[in-house]
Amino acid sequence: MIDLIDEHFKLASRFKDIVLFRTGIHSDKGFRDYYKIIQARQVIAKRVWLGVVLQTALSTNLNPYEYLREWFTDDELKNIYSFGDHTKEQLEYMISLRDPFGFCDFDTRNGLYKLFSVPLSMLPEQLPEEPRVDF
């Protein structure tokens, strides 16, 4: 039953993508703003949830590398593992995969650096200006 639902979802998603492309609506500024707003809401909600997870993980000395499969796809993991473990480059790449608009605040980034044992001296002193979502 789950396979049938999964197949239906993939077909419906593909159909939606084709319709959006052929109608040209994907180029509409309002349509793009709508999707930007949806993405921003998802990222901000995940940031709050990630803060709670980080507190627990940091207090229990959790090894985050054991859980990467739950957060990333196989293709993403191949790219992640192309960087050295516990490096700024690897961690910043992982952050960029889940936060394409740059909503990750300093405190969250600081917690991630601690969790992944990246030296805090590598933590950017100043993050890029938080993106604006104008309506």
**Does residue 88 surpass a pLDDT of 80?**
yes
Tell me, what's the pLDDT at 129? 55
Instruction: Give, as one character, the DSSP assignment of residue 82.
Output: T
Average pLDDT value for residue range 78-100: 92
CA dist 59 and 57 (Å) reads 6
Is residue 77 domain-resident? yes
Give the model confidence (pLDDT) of 92-123 as tens digits: 999 999 887 777 888 888 899 999 998 888 88
Neighbouring CB atoms inside 10 A of 62's CB total 14
Is residue 131 domain-resident? no
Is residue 133 domain-resident? no
pTM score: 0.64
Is residue 116 domain-resident? yes
Give the model confidence (pLDDT) of 41-74 as tens digits: 887 787 778 888 888 888 898 899 999 999 899 9
Q: Higher pLDDT residue, 24 or 70?
A: 70
CA dist 114 and 108 (Å) reads 10
Q: Are 86 and 116 in contact (CB under 8 A)?
A: yes
Is residue 103 domain-resident? yes
CA dist 94 and 101 (Å) reads 13
Is residue 118 domain-resident? yes
**Domain total for the chain?**
1
Give the structural domain span for 67: 2-122
Is residue 129 domain-resident? no
